[in-house]
Chains A and B, each alone.
Chain A
Amino acid sequence: MDDLDRRLLGVIQEHFPIDERPYLQIARQIGSTQVEVLDRMKALVDRGIIRDISPVFDLQKLGYCSTLAALDVPAERLDEVTRIVNAREEVTHNYLREGEPNLWFTVIAESPEALQRVLDEIAREAGCGPVANFPAQRKFTARVVFDFGDRDDA
């Protein structure tokens, strides 16, 4: 990534323009051209640096609830349990971590009851003890951390 890529990411990480011609607006903000911005964007997508261009929604305002859950999975069953957990569309993120428990995943559902049902079903299928449930209580921050030198934007 060069300086122009970093300036581009600095803008579009948090402020993708809601405009007829968003890439033209971005080009104006970073002192480039629409053609160049489109080329750079395509390259960043192709290289896998940009995962997705879509908004982050407030899931509670859309009527959903979520939680962070964890399972302690023995090494020899990791692939199998990962398949069970990942197969659920309610599971949005899943990470293998050092320590115990080692498998940490986030779950969304349309009600607390539905959420609990998903956790119970995963526990039953996985067969390595109950799923630990860590619902969030208070949010101090949730944001992006990539600092591309756009301090003004922070």
Chain B
Amino acid sequence: MTLDPRDWAVIDQLQSGIAVERRPFDYLAQCAGMTLEEFLTRVLRLKREGIIRRMGVRLRHTKAGMAGNTLAVWRVAEEDVERVGTLFASMPEVSHCYTRATYEGFPYNLYTMVHAPTQAQVGRIIRRMARESGVADFVTLKTLRELKKSTPRYRRPHGEP
């Protein structure tokens, strides 16, 4: 899908946030310079085309009752990546499961973010992941502190009409 300048106007307004009021999209449509009907039609299309991955709120993990958060990284043989990745992704406590490039001195290629109400529960989940996958070589990097979490601000590419 090609994004036209009016789509970008919609994207721009959505990024400034949806207010907690009866008709929050009225103001955003007005700022985007279009009718509410056009605004909502364009949002629905962005959602349908997957440009909006998720229409929802962002929560603060720790305040929403998830005090245990750990990045667990696994060294998985190439031929096992499909099986292990699918297994980890099927676990409800795993929010993200990606393969990533390795780096000198850091040979782990499968990354998982694990969340639970307590750190002890996170530890148990990771031990279960190791047992069920058969992957013995892994490292856990517990989240000690969130230093920054901002909502990215995407802008219309330079030079486009």
Contact = CB atoms under 8 A, between A and B. Distances in A.
Interface of A: 1, 9, 12-16, 18-24, 34, 38, 41-42, 45, 47-59, 61-64, 68, 70, 82, 85-86, 89, 91-99, 101, 103-105, 108, 110, 132-147, 154
A105 B111 CA distance: 14
B71 A140 contact: no
A20 B18 contact: no
Interface string B73-104: 00000000100011011001111111111111
A56 B18 contact: no
Contacts of A22: 18, 24-25
Contacts, number: 229
Interface residues of B, number: 77
Nearest to A45: B20
A45 B147 CA distance: 20
Contacts of A144: 54, 56, 59, 95
Interface of B: 1, 3, 11, 14-26, 36, 40, 43-44, 46-47, 49-60, 63-66, 71, 81, 85-86, 88-89, 92-104, 106, 111, 115, 139-154, 157
The 4 A-B pairs with the shortest beta carbon distances in the complex, nearest first, are A140-B89, A141-B89, A94-B148, A97-B141
Contacts of B65: 1, 146
Which secondary structure dominates where chain A touches chain B?
mixed
Given A57-B154, A97-B141, A48 B17 contact: no
Contacts of A59: 152, 154
